[in-house]
Amino acid sequence: MTSHDIQKDIVSACKIETIKAIIEDLNGDYFALLVDESRDVSRKEQMAICLRYVDKRGFVMEAFIGLVHVKDTSALSLKKAIVDVLAHHSLTLSSVRGQCYDGASNMQGELGGLKTLIKQESRSAHSVHCFAHQLQLTLVAVSKKCVQVGELVLLVSNVLNVLGASFKRVDGFRESQKQKLVEALDMGELEMDRGLNQELGLIKAGDTRWGSHYKSFGNFISNFASIVDVLDALVVNASTPDERASASGFLRSCQTFETVFLLHLMTDVLGITYDLNVSLQQKEQDIANAIILVKVFNLLQELNERFNEVISDLLNGVACLNPIDSLSSFDIKKIVRMTELYPDDFDGFSMRALENQLANYIIDVCAIDKRFFNLGGLGELSRKLVETKKHLNYSLVFLLVKFALLLPIATATVERAFSAMKFIKNDLQNRMDDEFLDGCIVPYVEKKVFKDVSNECIIKTFQGMKTRRVQL
């Protein structure tokens, strides 16, 4: 048990059984792909693959199935890696009914991007750009139309670059933080307790990192006194006239009423949309509720400009299936248009059958069966259809509901996997090989699945890997 090779085999057995449980839960049904790339601590490019599917009970599930090291990040190489992973689990691209990526060109490119290559294999694998990223880009684009806000973003970015330009300045910033904290505690302005008064870093905002501007502005306000202290010291101790002039200019700009007012204003505004961003990151969030959430913040027009005609038709069809307000948005024509976007699943005969089912379905769930009254969204509708066995009576309607739920709206599950990757493969364990990293990260991310895997299954898989001298 002290052998590294044996430990790696046991970890691999845990990963295999965890993914096996996920694939069994999928049960050969349709699924959506969520894919993203990130570099690990050793600068290797890693691709995380997640599946989104509707289980037998009608619940929307998102599951992480693996991390793949990719030497070449071209769309063709990424596609091959995805195909290989799916094939290893007896899955194919023909079952893909949704894709979700960030805005990288190798993913979203219309001509040779990953989404286009996958759609060539499955015409119904519609791609949705991560809503959280789109919301962030929309907020940045709209806010920068105001010159003063654009100047604020640039000022904060430049000040943070100056403060982080050397270890000496970072140390000075931290020392000032400690002094301010001690003074506040001595004056009774802060309470001491576990988890309180954590050190706040200087977060740099990024146009594609959701919530980063909110966190950046918030931390800038919280650390304002320490930031001023470092700039003051730099004005006095600058090694060159240019550095002194730059620090002096930033110091004056930071201390104006307009800058302070805009910092608090934008923090309040972005705080509201931050709640929306958090809502969009929920695993079971569906695209219909996401559109309703966005409407509350009057951003729908700006977001609509980022959707092509196909996605717009899909969203219109999904909205018509949403059971909120007793299916008040129900429109057969828009739903039929939605079915035309799934040519591999609906032919002429099934579309006529669907229209008949829809006519009966709308009367049943809106006027007769009280169990369907006051449902909160497509997720609840899916679960209620399975619970009442009506998914068998309205099989084509349920298929459309399932397709609507498969459309992913955020890459949060993938990003959680990358957070786990940085925790598992850190500075002290930066030589961890790819197979061992993948073996560790899958059970770690999918804890709920892994805890239900029996020791007997893991032992059996471990024993079956190779001939062993000892039986566990």
Q: How confident is the model at residue 468 (pLDDT cuts 50, 70, 90)?
A: confident
Whole-number Å distance between alpha carbons of 237 and 239: 6
Q: Which of 60, 57, 33 is nearest to 286 (CA)?
A: 60
Q: Which two tokens stand for residue 136?
A: 């962030």
pLDDT in tens, 160-178: 888 888 888 888 888 888 8
CB contact at 8 A, 126 and 120: no
Q: Dihedrals φ, ψ of 90, to 5°?
A: 60, 35
CA 174 distance to own-chain centroid: 32
Q: Which of 401, 280, 269, 426 is nearest to 330 (CA)?
A: 401
Name every residue whose Cβ is closer than 8 Å to that of residue 217 and which is 6 or more positions away in sequence: 156, 205, 263, 266, 267, 270
Does position 412 have pLDDT exceeding 90, yes or no?
no
Q: What is the pLDDT of residue 299?
A: 73
In the DSSP assignment, the letter for residue 231 is H
pLDDT value of position 194: 47
Element housing 262 (H / E): helix 257-280
Q: What is the pLDDT of residue 416?
A: 87
Q: What is the pLDDT of residue 297?
A: 56
Residue position matching structure tokens 């695993």? 283
Mean pLDDT of 104-116: 83
- Contacts of the segment 161-166: beta carbons below 8 A, 24+ positions apart: 161/204, 162/231, 162/234, 162/246, 162/247, 162/250, 163/202, 163/227, 163/230, 163/231, 164/202, 164/204
Residue 197: predicted pLDDT: 40
Tokens of 171: 């140390």
Q: Identify the residue with better confidence: 96 or 301.
A: 96
142 pLDDT more than 80: no
pLDDT band at 149 (very low <50, low <70, confident <90, very high): confident
Question: Among candidates 100, 90, 106, which has minimal Cα distance to 125?
Answer: 100
The whole-number pLDDT of residue 196 equals 42
pTM over 0.75: yes
**pLDDT > 90? residue 257:** yes
Contacts of 42 (CB under 8 A, 6+ apart): 425, 430, 431
Residue 23 structure tokens? 């694939």
- Do the Cβ atoms of 409 and 287 come closer than 8 Å? yes
pLDDT of 401 > 60? The answer is yes
Asked whether 134 and 209 are in contact (CB, 8 A), the reply is: no
For residue 68, give the H/E element and its range.
strand 60-69
Instruction: Decide if pLDDT at 192 tops 50.
Output: yes
The pLDDT value given to residue 281: 66
pLDDT of residue 312: 80
Q: What is the mean pLDDT of residues 236-258?
A: 90
Helices (runs of H) and strands (runs of E) counted in the chain: 24, 5
> What's the confidence (pLDDT) of residue 460?
93
Local confidence band at 195 (pLDDT 50, 70, 90 cut-offs) = very low
176 secondary structure, DSSP code: H
In whole angstroms, what is the distance from residue 48 CA to residue 66 CA?
A: 6
Contact 364, 284 (CB under 8 A): no
Residue 218 class from Cβ within 10 Å (0-12 exposed, 13-18 middle, 19+ buried)? buried
Share of the chain above pLDDT 90, in %: 46
Contacts of 66 (CB under 8 A, 6+ apart): 19, 48, 49, 85, 438, 442
- How far is residue 348 from each of residues 320, 341, 342, measured CA to CA in Å? 21, 13, 12
Whole-number pLDDT of residue 13: 96
Is residue 131 over pLDDT 90? no
Query: What is the 3 state secondary structure string of 344-375?
Result: CCCCHHHHHHHHHHHHHHHHHHHHHCHHHCCC
Provide the residue type at 340 as one letter. E
Q: Is the pLDDT of residue 202 over 70?
A: no
Please report the pLDDT score of residue 415 as a whole number.
84
Return all residues near 69 (Cβ < 8 A) that are at least 6 apart: 44, 45, 46, 47, 434
Q: Residue 428's pLDDT is what?
A: 83
Residue 33 has pLDDT above 90, yes or no: yes
Q: Work out the angle at residue 454's Cα, subtended by the Cα atoms of residues 450 and 459, and round it to the nearest 5 degrees.
A: 105
Q: Where are the domains of the chain?
A: 4-130+411-465, 137-277, 305-406
The number of CA neighbours under 13 Å toward the Cβ of 255 is: 13
- Lowest mean pLDDT: which of 278-287, 433-442, 446-455? 278-287
Quick check: 309 pLDDT over 50? Answer: yes
Q: 25 CB contacts (<8 Å, ≥6 apart)?
A: 53, 55, 56, 61, 63
Question: Poorest-confidence range of 65-69, 133-137, 189-193?
Answer: 189-193
Interval 361-400: pLDDT, tens: 999 998 899 999 988 889 999 999 999 999 999 999 999 9
pLDDT in tens, 11-24: 999 999 999 999 99
Q: Quick: pLDDT tens for 50-59.
A: 999 999 999 9
DSSP class of residue 166 equals: S
CA distance 390 to 364: 10
Average pLDDT, the chain: 86
Other beta carbons within 10 Å of 106: 17
Question: 439-467: string of b/e by CB count within 10 Å (b at 16+)?
Answer: bbbbbbbbeebbeebeeebbeebbeeeee
